[in-house]
Structure 1
Amino acid sequence: MLARLGGKPANSQTPVYYECGLPVLQAPYATYFRLTDNLFNFHFTGYNRLPGYWRRLMVAPSQAFLQLADDPALDFVNTVATNEGELFDYLETDSDVIAWLQAMQYLDAKEQPSFRKGALLAAARHLRDVIKKLVIQKKEGKRVDVAALNAFLGHARYHVNLVRKAHGHLDVVHEYERSSPEQLLAPVAQAAAELLATGDFELVRKCEADDCVLWFYDRTKAHRRRWCSMAMCGNRHKVANFRARQKYAASE
């Protein structure tokens, strides 16, 4: 089901639709679009092949990437997710990487770093692969191979500033150099290092859904989180159990 609320964004002729409360713009590439029990199960003809520009149009900027993990390094790993049973990579261009860094507040919205075409994307995907490998090693109790991550961290250059913020509040800010893709991604590498060094890996978990690849850090009070999101895999699990009970009851 797709709910149309009839509104239009400023300076746009495209109607706004809402999916689970999130505004979604109808893009020219879409043949049809309906809401399923999986929040991100979009039914677009060729959606996975859409350029990042149209993905930015179809989803509100703050919801363009999954931010479900309660940890920035795991949110970075989660830029590869499943869609209709197939892996979908949110990072397909240099601009996608910049948009993710902005969404996670590693970059100001006005900043647009420029490097050789494809260099930032390649560096980001390599760092993502490294982080995921180390998270799995740590989770499985294996020896963590720190060399690849340290190679990234070796590019980091920063200075520390004491910054006066709103209402006179003081904050210590690390200002990173950004002259290379590796330096731009250094804060993400640092977040991964901090997770691996200080995180409680009893609480770092992969979603229990068999077809989901998302990770999260369980920061709930009871530490019983099982799903990447109750609106996604948690809801699908409930629906599947309900249907199974109905089927069993009908067979008796």
Structure 2
Amino acid sequence: MARFRFLFDEYLTFGALPAVVLTTKEKKQELLQSYFQTVVQKDIAERHKINNDTVLKTLLKLLLNSSYITISKLFNSLKSMSIPVGKSTIDNYLSYIESSYFMSEMYIHKSSVINQLQYPRKVYFVDTGFMTALSTKFSKNMGRLFENIVFHKLGRENETMYYYKDDKGNEVDFAILNEGKATALYQVCFDLTDEETQSREVRSLVKAGTTLNCQNLNLLTLEKPDVLKLPQEIRVISAAEFL
């Protein structure tokens, strides 16, 4: 397990791009930043004829440091940096970024598209290495990195996926739908040893299961604690089992 933990931490921190995996630890971030410049220049700016890529680069860095986005929030953040750009341009740039496969967006589970558009979208990236190499935060958010990996694995296996959040703020990371019905719910909790965190995540999962009439409840975590008292209907899955 110690070997798995070491390799998994490397995977979360530096991603899975082959050249990055094979290079020395000292050069990984430099290589990731070089790849980022290539994505900006070749896959987005040149393809969509963006002459001034300053806004694009800043927007991408804002996205990489965000879990949820709205056009208004991004607009206000750029405005506070004295970067003048319209909301329609931001919307276009988001479309360009997503079409390059660098980023994916996930909407909230609501009864109509109009309702969905009123809520923030969650964002995930093609590789976790970019999230750490270009982070403005001093410490790594291992839970967010783990959730990014879960998003891609579930996305490969399921066609329709949303996040769920009720009016009281109880949230579940992934709701899998089939023909409009929730068939599975997944909650990502990197560390279950904190009782308050565990209680919050489990409560949200159980409430969502009741509301959506879904009995397939899954709690994903790095390692299963030796002693864990959870409702019987919840299945705990370790990172090693999930991957």
Q: TM-score, normalised by structure 2?
A: 0.27
Q: TM-score, normalised by structure 1?
A: 0.26
Greater helix share, 1 or 2? 2
Q: Which has the higher contact order (CA 8 A, sep 6+)?
A: 1
The structure whose Rg is larger is 1
